[in-house]
Amino acid sequence: MPIVSAGLLLTRRVGPLPELLLVHPGGPFYTRRDDGWWSIPKGQVEPGESLLEAAVREVREETGWEVAGPFVPLGFVDQSKKRVHAWAVVHDVDPATLVSNTVDLEWPPRSGVRLPFPEIDRAAWLDPIAATQKILPAQAPFLLRCVGLWADGTLA
């Protein structure tokens, strides 16, 4: 049984194309990793929590941003051993205001020392082409679906 995660793809319209907000994982393992490592803000669904409730909670925990709908479903993708569900939402934020929760990691490896690191170290608004280059390949369908929703007028 896969782990179930849920998240939101924040989007806004700037000029002729939409922009999509992606986040970069924090911690020493990801310091030099860029293209193909960004993600939508997302996380594991807790028992008794709906998928959408989990998505909104995860954005709040990972970024500090309170996001309200309407939320438009983007379906799901399978990412390694996870099934990730996502929604698009038109919501403008300043990436500089990101405040992430922290996770304790053993660093350096096998040292026995645990240090706190931000779960997310940065966020950025990207055009669809740049976002496709940055995002984890398994999550790329969310970008295409979101851009399609702008094209057909569902998002405005």
pLDDT, tens only, 45-57? 999 999 999 999 9
pLDDT of the residue at 99: 97
Spatial separation of the C-alpha atoms in residues 43 and 46, rounded to whole Å: 9
**84-115 per-position pLDDT tens digit:** 999 999 999 999 999 999 999 998 899 999 99
- All structural domains of the chain with their residue ranges: 3-151
CB 104 within 8 A of CB 115: yes
Q: Which residues contact 119 (CB under 8 A, 6 or more apart)?
A: 25, 26, 27, 61, 62, 100, 101, 102, 103
Among 133, 128, 126, 131, smallest CA distance to 148 is for 128
Superfamily of domain 3-151: Nucleoside Triphosphate Pyrophosphohydrolase (3.90.79.10)
